[in-house]
Structure 1
């Protein structure tokens, strides 16, 4: 999918087209290697100058994560988490994360909300690059444009608990992102991640309504 002015990139989207020449001069050698291999970058939450999108580069290990920015005009292809829901059917579900994806797909579809695969599982499904292992979690996103109650969140946490691996689900609200487990808990305020900052709020759909 080629980007255009009417399709802004969203967090967790995978973008192709970044060149080594576009990297900062002080980028680590592993970043240069990864971009040279043609791997995609992942959209992250941050404010950047007009005409750019904030992205991250991932390496072979968990500690290899590099934040930078990419020109929107350089984007040649975009894959969203929602595009990856069914890809596992065309690949061997060798790892627990991929088995878990098959297990929970009907449950997630029954919510009638857009959802998709992010993190290591999303990266491997989109690229074929082997990054998963036996202990990998399954990272999901759920686009909840309208209010999703704490009771609904608690029920979803319970329903996902029986999967083949730990599932970390981020709810994407119009104001930012909040962890499903946190919203399902009892704390009066939860951590909302937005492009500007992360802050504690009482309602992730109304971030100005902070609890005292």
Structure 2
């Protein structure tokens, strides 16, 4: 990868050294720039996270979270076991979903990123609304998993925490590129939905 196709916002020399060791980036939430994708670089610890911009012509491949749940791993860690159990429990769910965070990163890259304490971070893609009762059912399926479940839901309007939607009455925080807003309709991208 040519340096002019990837720009980091801080510690550029350290970030490029890390990129040589682990040549993968993840898409991060930020307003895109013309022809540039906001990306993040993961190191071996949380203190080794670097934000940057990748020129779209430099993208060699993309892993969608929903494709990662089929990737097999032999590592016997709680978050991987939780993913295997949840796949059985959520069989038949029509929404696209899959692992993100350290589990998704490790399944996509083969680079060990998951620890025994890692949560299972999931992303559900929900272009159409679903009920709070359904959200509670999904969470209850994960109540006895060997790892803590943290689920984000993406809609055309932004993303939100499944647990907050399931158990909080009224407006819910919707994360958008410009920041978070409290909304009553998580699937409406109109400013009129702001509570």
Q: TM-score, normalized by length of structure 2?
A: 0.91
Which of 89, 99, 105 aligns to 1:117? It is 99
Q: Is the 8 A contact 2:174 2:182 kept in 1?
A: yes
Tell me what 2:126 maps to: 144
Q: TM-score, normalized by length of structure 1?
A: 0.84
Tell me what 2:110 maps to: 128
Tell me what 2:79 maps to: 97
Superposition CA RMSD, Å: 1.8
Measured in 1, the distance between the counterparts of 2:38 and 2:132 equals 31
CA shift, 1:82, in A, is 1.3
Indicate whether 1:52 and 2:36 are aligned: yes
Q: Is the 8 A contact 1:143 1:171 kept in 2?
A: yes
Alignment of structure 1 residues 1-212 onto 2, 5 Å: 19-21=2-4, 22-24=6-8, 26-88=10-72, 91-207=73-189, 208-211=192-195
Displaced runs of 4 or more, over 4 A: 18-21
Q: Is the 8 A contact 2:120 2:148 kept in 1?
A: yes
Measured in 1, the distance between the counterparts of 2:121 and 2:84 equals 13
Q: Is the 8 A contact 1:19 1:36 kept in 2?
A: no
CA shift, 1:39, in A, is 2.2
Unaligned runs of 5+ in 1: 1-17
Unaligned runs of 5+ in 2: none
CA shift, 1:51, in A, is 0.8
Q: Is the 8 A contact 2:96 2:125 kept in 1?
A: yes
Aligned length in residues = 192
In structure 2, the CA distance between the partners of 1:99 and 1:20, relative to structure 1 (3 Å rule), is: farther
